[in-house]
Structure formats: C-alpha cells, structure tokens
Amino acid sequence: MNTLDPSHPLSAARTASSRLVRAYQGVRQEVTPVWFMRQAGRSLPEYRELRVGTRMLDACLDPALASEITLQPVRRHGVDAGIFFSDIVIPLRLAGVDVDIVPGKGPVLGSPVRTADDVSRLTELDPASLTDETFAPIIEAVRLTTAELGDTPLIGFAGAPFTLAAYLVEGGPSKDHIRARTMMHADPIAWARLMDWTADVTGAFLRTQVVAGASAAQLFDSWAGSLSLHDYATHVAPASTRALSHVRDLTYVVTHAPDAAADADARADEPQTETRNVPIVHFGVGTGELLKAMHEVGADVVGVDYRIPLDEASRRLGHVVPIQGNVDPAMLAAPWKVLQAHVLDVLERGADAPAHVLNLGHGVPPETDPDVLTRLVGFVHGL
C-alpha cells in the first residue's frame, strides 16, 4: 500500500467526495456525473487556436499548454472532470521510442516492431529510465491543472499494452491490427516480452499522473475489441493487470465527521477514518464480449462503447460494477430532441448498475458543435 501525499487533491479532501470519484467507487449520485472522452481537443475552437504552429507531442510536453488545453472543456462545458491532455504514445516517446503523431493520421513509428529481434532492441530501452525527471513536464502539467481545478477531479490516463502494441507492431494506425494479432500467435514469447515492457512503460506514465494529482485513472484499451475473448484472456489480460499494478496500490485516507447515527459501539464523538483506493476505469471499443474480463484485470469501473446497451453491459458484469458510457457520438449531430431521448434512455439503462458516469461510447467527433456538449451537460445536471 502506498498512501498519496497529504497535499494530493484526494487526501486533502478536495475531490474525495466529488460526484465522479464517489460514482466510480460505486456510490450512486443524485446527479449523474458527466465528462466526454476526447473533450480536450479538436471540437473546440480555442484548442485549434492554441495548437497553431505546435506539433501534437510538443504540445503534450509543454506543461502550460497541456494544462490550459485540459482546462478548456471544464470551463466551457462544466463537466464533472478534466481529462489530462496528453497522448497514449507519450511514455513511449519519453522511453526513447521514435514515434510521432502525424496530423490527420495519428501515431506513426520510425521503425515498426515486427520480429523477435525488434522486440529485443525495443526492450533494451529500460522502463526504469522513466523517472520523475523524465516525466517532469507531465508532473508539472498535472500540478498546474489540479491547482486550477480545485474540487473538480482530474482523470489521468494511459493506453493499455495491447492498444500500444497495435501501434508499435503495425507502425501506425491500422484497421484490424492484424500484424499484432499474428505476432501473439506466431511468436508468443516475443509477444509476451513486448507486452510486459509496454505494461511497465505505460503503467509508469499512469502512476506519475496519479501521484502528481489525478484523482482517477483510465486505461484505454481502445482496440481490444478486435480480439476474441480467448486471445484477450491468454495474450493480453496479464499485461493489462501488470500495467494497472502500477496504480492499484495507491490509497488515501478520508475522515468522516463524527456521526450521531453511528452504530452504538463506535465512539460517536470520534472521527472515523477510512482508506480508499484511487478508482481505475477500463475502456475499450467494441468490447461487449470482453467486459467481464476487462473488469477482472483489476479495474473498478468499466467503460462501455455505444454498441451494447448499458443494462445489458451491467447484466454481463453481474450488476455489481459501476459503469461509464455510452451515448452514441453520432447522436451529437442529430436534432436536440433525438439526442435528448437517447440520453434519457442511456440514463435509464445505466440505473441497472450500482453507479453510472455518463460519457460517450467513444471520443467526441472533431466536427461536433461544442454548444451541444455544453447543453448536454446542463441537461444531465438539471435532471
């Protein structure tokens, strides 16, 4: 167990009783908390303006810029959380991998990792080299951001080993991640080495954000939906557990005011303390068949994409897991009445789970009218 610093927003009781954190811990909130995946980014004119002339990864490593971009959607929409502006490939870059983000495309590798020798070369980059010094721009950006956010929690995130490996092996974005899926069967030993290395690199990135001030952690296994349940369980889940083990031990202590209604044995005049862990969310696209397995790798909350209704997702999770999702991003451009009816349906189905955080089923499409997101937040908060 590792207790967060007393100045951490969770320990200092700034975010510990926020709607988002409590919902992630399974306590249903009177008002459903809401945030949007990819809320910081291309749908906002103020983002596009700030990004002019700065490459994506340079923006991520500029603390003042990354912090400002993280705060933009919180100010504009009044969402219940900020998501740290960064990218899943940042820890790869900081570990020494030749990777860039090409505008309009996504992550592109200088040399793809296709053979056992390539894996050996990659894994010579020691994850232990990712120290606080290497992560300094991330730590500084998180500190600047949480100082501004006050009682609003910041969500830290990282890519899951499989999703990162899909980019490493393919060399860039791909449709079915077929080379990565071939490697896991053709050379399971090299694959396991690749996954373990990636787990430690991405896990260090996630831990850094939480220790620096994030109040929750989300692991994105965006492309896990291309896997069968068997392949996921055998060749992917152990590495995701390993990645999450970097944050699983992080705890904080909350102190409850003396409670007059406390049980008779407890000294009513003494404050009660309780140790809680930093909540972990696990999300993937098209992962209806994997929800239970994705919970079991060590997540507290499961993010659901728009392909499966939340009541069905909750049933598959045994009705005991808080869920996040799953407004269809396509609905954001539909007439308001249509979107409103869809959101009400999502909320009603989300009532099947112990707690629900409203989100999209995947990221905000770049062409989304930001005013629709603001209106949606107001609508959910006003219910």
Please confirm, yes or no, whether 38 is among the known catalytic residues: yes
Place of tokens 């791909």: 174
Which residues 289-348 are close enough to bind ligand 1CP by CB under 6 A? none
Rank residues 179 and 276 by Cβ distance to ligand 1CP and give the closer one: 179
Sole binder of ligand 1CP in the list 145, 209, 222, 359 (CB under 6 A): 222
Sole binder of ligand 1CP in the list 23, 56, 237, 360 (CB under 6 A): 56
Q: How far is the CB of 284 from ligand 1CP (least distance, A)?
A: 8
**Which one is catalytic: 14, 19, 24, 167?**
167
Contact between residue 232 and residue 292 where contact means Cβ atoms under 8 Å apart = no
**Interface characters, 194-213, with ligand 1CP (x: CB under 6 A):** --------------------
Rank residues 32 and 218 by Cβ distance to ligand 1CP and give the closer one: 218
Torsion of CA 256, 261, 263, 266, to 10 degrees: 50
Please confirm, yes or no, whether 267 is among the known catalytic residues: no
Tokens of 74: 């919180």
Contact between residue 263 and residue 223 where contact means Cβ atoms under 8 Å apart = no
What distance lies between CA 190 and its chain's CA centroid?
A: 27
> If we measure between CA atoms, which residue out of 102, 121, 113, 234 comes closest to residue 164?
113
Rank residues 100 and 312 by Cβ distance to ligand 1CP and give the closer one: 100
Rank residues 148 and 352 by Cβ distance to ligand 1CP and give the closer one: 148
Rank residues 16 and 212 by Cβ distance to ligand 1CP and give the closer one: 212
> If we measure between CA atoms, which residue out of 360, 357, 380, 378 comes closest to residue 368?
360
Rank residues 85 and 232 by Cβ distance to ligand 1CP and give the closer one: 85
Report the first-to-last Cα separation within the chain, whole angstroms. Answer: 39
**Which one is catalytic: 14, 19, 24, 87?**
87
Please confirm, yes or no, whether 75 is among the known catalytic residues: no
Please confirm, yes or no, whether 306 is among the known catalytic residues: no
Q: How far is the CB of 320 from ligand 1CP (least distance, A)?
A: 26
Taking contact as CB under 6 A, which single stretch among the options 78-86, 183-191, 288-296, 374-382 is the one that binds ligand 1CP? 78-86
Find residue 97's DSSP bridge partners: none
CB-based burial label for 335 (10 Å; 0-12, 13-18, 19+):
exposed
Sole binder of ligand 1CP in the list 20, 72, 85, 139 (CB under 6 A): 85
Which residues 143-162 are close enough to bind ligand 1CP by CB under 6 A? 157
Is 370 one of the binding residues for ligand 1CP (CB under 6 A)?
no
Find residue 275's DSSP bridge partners: 253
Taking contact as CB under 6 A, which single stretch among the options 15-23, 100-108, 143-151, 203-211 is the one that binds ligand 1CP? 100-108
Please confirm, yes or no, whether 87 is among the known catalytic residues: yes
Is 361 one of the binding residues for ligand 1CP (CB under 6 A)?
no
Contact between residue 158 and residue 91 where contact means Cβ atoms under 8 Å apart = yes
Q: How far is the CB of 225 from ligand 1CP (least distance, A)?
A: 11
**Which one is catalytic: 19, 51, 207, 316?**
51
Which residues 23-42 are close enough to bind ligand 1CP by CB under 6 A? 37-42
> If we measure between CA atoms, which residue out of 306, 302, 250, 244 comes closest to residue 23?
302
DSSP E strand boundaries for the chain: 2-3, 82-83, 99-102, 106-109, 154-159, 216-220, 250-256, 272-277, 280-283, 301-303, 323-327, 356-360
Tell me the number of residues near ligand 1CP by CB under 6 A. Answer: 23
Is 191 one of the binding residues for ligand 1CP (CB under 6 A)?
no
Sole binder of ligand 1CP in the list 23, 34, 65, 83 (CB under 6 A): 83
**Which one is catalytic: 28, 42, 179, 276?**
42
DSSP secondary structure letter of residue 354: S
Tokens of 5: 């610093």
> If we measure between CA atoms, which residue out of 10, 50, 17 comes closest to residue 33?
17
Q: Which residues are catalytic?
A: 38, 42, 51, 87, 167
